């Protein structure tokens, strides 16, 4: 609290400033107001005490070193989840209206479950795809991908269809109750449902400390790395020229080097741009969103700010006494904090003389419309009446015509309250900020103060009045409480199922491997009786790989072509077999190991690439044209190589099934662990699960 206490006369008064959203430096608003008072009230400046309540200093910042703090993202998620769950405060005595209320709660839960299912389906589809690819399960993989995509599509459709149901139920309840409150509450839920994942996903990108990345230390490391890259490129060029002098060209290496350095320059510019945007725009924007929704839905956040104000009031009344007039000048969210304090705080004594001056207030346009009855009565006149029953009170609300947040509050029915416009028609884009140092605002308020009397309260009425608490059952009605409990239960079931997915999917893959083996055996037996034999040409080449956790690995590629009954060459589907040490590839068509040995024993080099000094074994394309090939004339896709049947002994079958299970289970387990570390926190933020755990 920035104050200048000094000895003053009996007719003096205090000014208490409560700022709105953002990060004002301590003392800046008090200085701006003091300077404005010197210009508008030069004769009384020496007798006015200006105090600033900078509640921003007691809340945790949203960003540090150019990075969004994790606690800020958690607060944003939990606050949005709670803001979505807060009810409208209406007592539904009408059964039809209550049914529509239940319908809206069910629609909201369906939308949240649809979003959760889509998110879980996307993650699981990626994991299953990677696992099935590693297991080379060509039978299950083509069916799993379309099925997963369909689940994601239908889940998103369920989530999207819940939005019109929310709006429709709000309209129906508004017509039944003859009050627009229900409609705006359901509209608020629909908007939060849409923007909550967008906010979380957008702000999560700036979780990286971009400003620190763009600092001097990292810039120096980057420059040293860029300088050291050049001799490495030259050395690689010399090695390539020595290995293959016929095809190597220095011009291609130079062009590649320019592309690499252009990429590095672009990456550097992007990092600096992101760091600047984070510091200048993203962090302040997140702070604005957090200020509003944390006060609405943050657990303990409102109590912390109100306790801070109560401490300041105790200090003030201990020095000046309760009868000394006090002018509360508040802006934006500060007007909500001030009104909340006047309604519910016990620090305001019965003899207090309070003038509330609100600037650009969102009380009517935002809070009373979308959160009716949460912190104060659902209308400003009822709120002013409740305050005036406790203390001597008047209220001046000042607004600009095109203020995007604040507007007239409808105070005209009360003689001790007044709405006053600045008539600044030329201020459009900057209509909401910068009220504090505006002389036009000061003159409008001064004129309104002289024209608005103070409402005086008798001692008997003061004794009967007491502070009011308008936040009932934390804003959650019975329907919302049941919905949240049901959502928690469903999410726990989904989490358990997700954790069990590696074992389940591994068993499915092993079972599918067995089915594929039986199918290929049946197909081979059918070809034995009705197939046509011919000669085929097979081209083979091998691709070496380095796989983490699997040691050395390689891919064997086969291209087959055979002559049909008409004598023309017909291509057959290409085969690709992978071998991860120590496991062997599942063979459904042929014995790949025996086939490779046979082709490489007598084959013709058909690789168009020139021979280099360093050749990887079997990396060049080699062709052999005397392989016996059997196919079904009625179904050309059914074929076999009779001389290289797949290994179907009991030992091979068990090893194949074991490989199918573990090659699916282990990647799923690994990627699932990664998901728990990286994806699960982000998903919980999007779904607001942190809030639900605290219920």
421 Cβ contact list (under 8 Å, min separation 6): 398, 399, 400, 401, 408, 444
For residue 366, how many C-alpha atoms fall within 13 Å in the half-sphere facing its CB?
A: 17
- Note the pLDDT tens digit of each residue in 159-178: 888 888 888 888 888 888 88
Claim to verify: residue 465 and residue 601 sit in the same structural domain: no
Claim to verify: residue 305 and residue 367 sit in the same structural domain: yes
- Note the pLDDT tens digit of each residue in 13-70: 788 888 888 767 767 777 777 777 777 666 655 567 777 788 877 777 666 665 667 7
Least confident of 280-294, 320-334, 370-384, 398-412: 280-294
Does some domain include residue 505?
A: no
Domain boundary among the residues 608, 631, 647 is at 647
Q: Residues 436-457: what's their mean pLDDT?
A: 86
Q: Count CB neighbours of 484 within 10 A.
A: 21
Q: Residues 110-121: what's their mean pLDDT?
A: 78
Question: Rounded CA gap, 386 and 341, in Å?
Answer: 12
Does some domain include residue 202?
A: no
Claim to verify: residue 307 and residue 289 sit in the same structural domain: no
Does some domain include residue 174?
A: no
Farthest CA pair distance, the chain? 116
What is the structure's pLDDT at 206? 67
Q: Is the pLDDT of residue 401 over 70?
A: yes
What is the structure's pLDDT at 564? 73
Claim to verify: residue 260 and residue 379 sit in the same structural domain: no
Question: Rounded CA gap, 393 and 455, in Å?
Answer: 5
Burial bucket for residue 84 (CB in 10 Å: 0-12, 13-18, 19+): buried
Alpha helices in 136-207 (DSSP H): 141-177, 181-204
At 614, list the tokens.
């360093």
What is the structure's pLDDT at 479? 67
Q: Is the pLDDT of residue 356 over 90?
A: yes
Claim to verify: residue 344 and residue 389 sit in the same structural domain: yes
* C-alpha of 418 from chain center: 42
215 Cβ contact list (under 8 Å, min separation 6): none
What is the structure's pLDDT at 362? 92
Does some domain include residue 660?
A: no
Band (pLDDT 50/70/90 cuts) for residue 692 is very low
| Helix H or strand E encompassing 682 | helix 680-687
Question: Rounded CA gap, 103 and 107, in Å?
Answer: 6
What is the structure's pLDDT at 4? 40
10 DSSP assignment: T
Claim to verify: residue 227 and residue 363 sit in the same structural domain: no
Claim to verify: residue 392 and residue 305 sit in the same structural domain: yes
Question: Rounded CA gap, 128 and 145, in Å?
Answer: 9
- Note the pLDDT tens digit of each residue in 530-576: 788 888 899 998 887 654 444 456 788 888 888 777 767 777 767 77
Band (pLDDT 50/70/90 cuts) for residue 373 is confident
Claim to verify: residue 226 and residue 339 sit in the same structural domain: no
Q: Is the pLDDT of residue 223 over 50?
A: yes
Q: Is the pLDDT of residue 335 over 90?
A: yes
- Note the pLDDT tens digit of each residue in 494-506: 667 766 766 776 6
Please provide the average confidence, as pLDDT, over all residues in the chain: 75
Claim to verify: residue 451 and residue 583 sit in the same structural domain: no
Choice between 346 and 362, residue whose per-residue pLDDT is larger? 362
Question: Rounded CA gap, 301 and 297, in Å?
Answer: 8
Of the chain, the percentage scoring pLDDT greater than 90 comes to: 7
Band (pLDDT 50/70/90 cuts) for residue 693 is very low
For every residue of 244-303, DSSP letters joined together read -TTT--HHHHHHHHHHHHHHHHHHHHHHHHHHHHIIIIIHHHHHHHHHHHHHHH-TTHHH
Choice between 452 and 5, residue whose per-residue pLDDT is larger? 452
Domain boundary among the residues 411, 443, 476 is at 476
Domain boundary among the residues 260, 293, 326 is at 293
Claim to verify: residue 314 and residue 411 sit in the same structural domain: yes
Q: Is the pLDDT of residue 295 over 70?
A: yes
456 DSSP assignment: P
Does some domain include residue 571?
A: yes
Question: Rounded CA gap, 203 and 75, in Å?
Answer: 12
For residue 677, how many C-alpha atoms fall within 13 Å in the half-sphere facing its CB?
A: 6
Question: Rounded CA gap, 337 and 18, in Å?
Answer: 8
Does some domain include residue 683?
A: no
Q: What is the CATH number of the domain that holds 448?
A: 3.40.50.1820
At 503, list the tokens.
């074992």
At 480, list the tokens.
């919302």
Strands of the 326-331 sheet, one edge to the other: 48-53, 13-18, 326-331, 353-359, 392-399, 417-421
The CA-CA-CA angle for residues 108, 114, 116, to 5°, reads 105
Choice between 392 and 481, residue whose per-residue pLDDT is larger? 392
- Note the pLDDT tens digit of each residue in 68-83: 677 777 777 778 888 8
The domain in which residue 568 lies consists of: 522-647
Q: β-strand 604-605 against 622-632: which pairing, if any?
A: antiparallel
Claim to verify: residue 228 and residue 376 sit in the same structural domain: no
Band (pLDDT 50/70/90 cuts) for residue 143 is low
Choice between 314 and 674, residue whose per-residue pLDDT is larger? 314
- How many residues are given for the chain? 695
Q: Residues 376-386: what's their mean pLDDT?
A: 87
Total number of domains in the chain: 3
Q: Is the pLDDT of residue 7 over 70?
A: no
426 Cβ contact list (under 8 Å, min separation 6): none
- Note the pLDDT tens digit of each residue in 641-690: 888 887 665 555 556 656 656 666 666 666 666 666 666 666 666 666 65
68 DSSP assignment: E
At 579, list the tokens.
């071998």
Contact present, 504 and 144 (Cβ < 8 Å) = no
Of the chain, the percentage scoring pLDDT greater than 70 comes to: 69
Contact present, 505 and 587 (Cβ < 8 Å) = no
Most confident of 203-217, 279-293, 374-388: 374-388
What is the structure's pLDDT at 583? 43
User: Phi, psi (5° rounding) for residue 344?
Assistant: -110, -15
User: Phi, psi (5° rounding) for residue 261?
Assistant: -70, -35
Choice between 662 and 462, residue whose per-residue pLDDT is larger? 662
pTM of the model: 0.67
Q: Residues 151-163: what's their mean pLDDT?
A: 85
Q: Is the pLDDT of residue 477 over 70?
A: no
What is the structure's pLDDT at 579? 67
Least confident of 299-303, 404-408, 622-626: 299-303
Q: Residues 495-524: what's their mean pLDDT?
A: 68
Q: Residues 373-399: what's their mean pLDDT?
A: 88
What is the structure's pLDDT at 561? 87
Q: Residues 458-468: what's their mean pLDDT?
A: 54
Does some domain include residue 317?
A: yes
Does some domain include residue 500?
A: no
Contact present, 77 and 690 (Cβ < 8 Å) = yes
Question: Rounded CA gap, 145 and 517, in Å?
Answer: 22
Contact present, 145 and 130 (Cβ < 8 Å) = no
Claim to verify: residue 285 and residue 346 sit in the same structural domain: no
Choice between 273 and 433, residue whose per-residue pLDDT is larger? 433
């Amino acid at each position: 609290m920035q104050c200048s206490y000094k000895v003053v006369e009996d007719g003096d008064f205090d000014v208490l400033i409560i700022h709105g959203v953002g990060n004002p430096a301590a003392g800046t608003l008090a200085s701006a107001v003091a300077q404005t008072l010197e210009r508008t009230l030069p004769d009384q400046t020496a007798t006015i005490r200006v105090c600033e309540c900078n509640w921003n200093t007691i809340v945790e910042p949203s960003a540090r070193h150019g990075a969004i703090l994790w606690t800020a993202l958690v607060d944003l998620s939990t606050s949005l989840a709670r803001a979505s769950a807060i009810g409208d405060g209406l007592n539904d005595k009408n059964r039809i209206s209550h049914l529509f209320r239940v319908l809206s709660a069910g629609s909201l839960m369906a939308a949240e479950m649809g979003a959760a299912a889509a998110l879980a389906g996307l993650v699981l589809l990626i994991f299953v795809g990677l696992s099935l690819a590693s297991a080379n399960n060509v039978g299950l993989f083509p069916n799993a991908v379309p099925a997963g995509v369909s689940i994601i599509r239908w889940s998103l459709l369920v989530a999207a269809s819940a939005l019109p149901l929310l709006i429709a139920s709000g309209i129906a309840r508004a017509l039944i109750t003859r009050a627009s409150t229900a409609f705006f509450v359901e509209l608020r839920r629909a908007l939060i449902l849409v923007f909550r994942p967008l906010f979380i996903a957008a702000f999560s990108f700036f979780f990286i400390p971009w400003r620190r990345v763009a600092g001097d230390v990292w810039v120096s490391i980057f420059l040293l790395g860029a300088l050291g890259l050049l001799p490495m490129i030259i050395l690689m060029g010399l090695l390539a020229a020595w290995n293959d002098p016929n095809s190597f060209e220095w011009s291609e290496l130079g062009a590649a080097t320019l592309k690499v350095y252009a990429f590095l320059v672009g990456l550097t510019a992007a990092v600096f741009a992101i760091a600047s945007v984070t510091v200048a725009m993203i962090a302040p924007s997140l702070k604005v969103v957090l200020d509003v929704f944390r006060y609405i839905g943050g657990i303990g956040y409102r109590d912390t700010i109100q306790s801070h104000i109560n401490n300041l009031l105790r200090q003030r009344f201990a020095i000046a006494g309760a009868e000394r007039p006090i002018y509360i000048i508040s802006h934006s969210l500060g007007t909500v904090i001030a009104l909340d304090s006047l309604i519910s705080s016990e620090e305001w004594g019965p003899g207090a003389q309070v003038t509330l001056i609100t600037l650009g207030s969102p009380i009517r346009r935002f809070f009373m419309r979308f959160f009716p009855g949460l912190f104060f009565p659902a209308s400003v006149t009822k709120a002013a009446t409740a305050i005036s029953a406790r203390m001597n009170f008047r209220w001046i609300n000042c607004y600009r015509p095109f203020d995007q947040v604040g507007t007239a509050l409808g105070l005209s029915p009360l003689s001790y309250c007044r709405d006053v416009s600045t008539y600044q028609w030329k201020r459009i884009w900057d209509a909401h900020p910068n009220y504090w140092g505006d002389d036009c605002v000061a003159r409008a308020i001064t004129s309104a103060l002289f024209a608005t009397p103070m409402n005086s309260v008798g001692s008997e009425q003061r004794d009967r009045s007491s502070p009011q608490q308008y936040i009932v059952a934390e804003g959650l009605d019975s329907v919302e409480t049941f919905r949240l409990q049901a959502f928690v239960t469903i999410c726990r079931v989904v989490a358990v199922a997700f954790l069990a997915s590696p074992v389940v999917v591994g068993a499915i893959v092993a079972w599918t491997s067995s089915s594929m083996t039986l199918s290929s055996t049946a197909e081979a037996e059918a070809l034995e009786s009705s197939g046509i034999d011919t000669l085929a040409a097979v081209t083979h080449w091998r691709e070496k790989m380095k796989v983490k956790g699997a040691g050395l690995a390689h891919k064997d590629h086969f291209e087959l072509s055979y002559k049909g009954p008409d004598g023309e060459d017909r291509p057959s589907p290409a085969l690709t077999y992978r071998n991860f040490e120590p496991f062997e590839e599942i063979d459904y068509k042929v014995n790949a190991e025996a086939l490779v040995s046979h082709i490489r024993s007598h084959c013709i080099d058909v690789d168009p690439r020139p021979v280099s000094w360093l050749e990887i074994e079997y990396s060049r394309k080699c062709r052999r044209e005397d392989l016996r090939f059997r196919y079904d004339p009625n179904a050309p896709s059914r074929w076999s190589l009779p001389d290289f049947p797949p290994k179907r002994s009991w030992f091979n079958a068990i090893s194949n099934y074991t490989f199918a299970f573990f090659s699916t289970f282990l990647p799923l387990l690994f990627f699932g662990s990664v998901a728990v570390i990286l994806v699960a926190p982000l998903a919980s933020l999007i779904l607001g699960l942190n809030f639900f755990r605290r219920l």
